[in-house]
Each structure stands twice: as structure tokens, then as C-alpha cells.
């Protein structure tokens, strides 16, 4: 069972995406953060995910989730958000600008509206269709004056 399977099963119920949040999958459990007023609905209606039967229960305990990530070191021309998004998603800078203008990029859970904004250290970057990344820092500069960034891709 994957994140995509759970998200698809929840969207199939016809609810708006803003009534539920993170989906965490552990070895023996599935945790979904939902709006309090929708909890009963999900417990009653969400019974199958892909080919598996599921039974949801309310849980008030804090779930500790260790994020797994891959770290990579792309060379970027500047710390502008469009350059960082381009490096994260392995796309051209023009395509990155298009994604930003369409509202598909969030920085620290806020929709990015300006391409020329400078990306701060430890910023979380969510690119719809490409994943979630953390811009850790600029580690050093190259001989040509470009920057070597440290970026983590969340798994």
C-alpha cells in the first residue's frame, strides 16, 4: 500500500483535498490527519485501499515520523526560487517558472507567487507532481561563480 493508493481512495470518496492532510504509512499502520468534523465520515466510508480492507480508528497519540530522504548537490546559478525548483525537479528554469505561475509550488506550505524570491536555508519546497524537497543550504561556490546547493528529496 502506497501513499498514492491511500490518496486515491480518499479522493474517490468525493471530498475536498483540504479536509485531510498528511498520510503516513508505517509497517503495520496507516495514519491520516483529517479535519475533526470529517473523522466519522472517513471511519465509516473508507473501507478499502487498493485491494486491501482497512478499518480506521481515531488516534490522539503523537505519531513520530522519521523522514527518509536522498541528498543531492546540484549546481545552481542563484538562490532564486525558480532556479532551486528547476534543480529539485530536474527541469528547465522556464518550466519551473511555469509551475510557479500555475500555483503548483509551495515554499514552507505557502503557495509561491514570485519566481524571483530568494530561497532560505531549510525551506521545504513542495512541487506538485515532483515531490517534496528541503533546500538545506549553499555549500560552496564553483570556479565559475555558480553555487553548489545541498537539497534533500523526501521519500
pLDDT (average), residues 103-126? 92
What is the overall mean pLDDT for the chain? 90
CA dist 6 and 24 (Å) reads: 10
Cβ of 76: how many Cβ atoms within 10 Å?
20
R_g over Cα of the chain: 18
**What's the rounded Cα separation, in Å, for the pair 15 and 17?**
6
For residue 68, the model assigns a pLDDT of: 80
Average pLDDT over residues 56-71: 80
Residue 57: band (very low, low, confident or very high) from pLDDT cuts 50, 70, 90: confident
3-state secondary structure string, 58-76? CCCCCCCCCCCEEEECCEE
Report, as an integer, the average pLDDT of 46-51: 89
Mean of pLDDT values over 101-114: 93
Cα 134 to its chain centre, rounded Å, is 10
pLDDT at 20: 85
Amino acid at each position: 500500500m502506497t501513499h498514492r493508493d491511500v490518496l486515491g481512495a480518499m479522493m474517490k470518496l468525493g471530498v475536498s483535498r483540504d479536509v485531510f492532510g498528511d498520510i503516513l504509512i508505517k509497517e503495520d499502520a496507516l495514519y491520516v490527519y483529517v479535519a475533526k468534523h470529517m473523522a466519522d465520515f472517513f471511519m465509516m466510508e473508507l473501507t478499502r485501499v487498493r485491494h486491501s480492507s482497512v478499518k480506521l480508528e481515531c488516534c490522539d497519540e503523537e505519531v513520530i515520523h522519521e523522514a527518509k530522504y536522498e541528498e543531492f548537490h546540484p549546481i545552481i546559478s542563484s538562490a532564486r526560487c525558480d532556479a532551486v525548483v528547476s534543480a529539485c525537479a530536474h527541469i528547465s528554469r522556464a518550466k519551473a517558472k511555469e509551475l510557479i505561475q500555475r500555483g503548483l509550488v509551495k515554499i514552507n506550505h505557502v503557495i509561491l507567487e514570485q519566481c524571483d524570491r530568494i530561497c532560505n536555508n531549510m525551506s521545504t519546497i513542495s512541487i506538485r507532481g515532483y515531490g517534496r524537497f528541503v533546500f538545506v543550504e549553499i555549500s560552496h561556490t564553483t570556479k565559475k561563480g555558480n553555487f553548489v546547493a545541498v537539497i534533500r528529496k523526501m521519500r
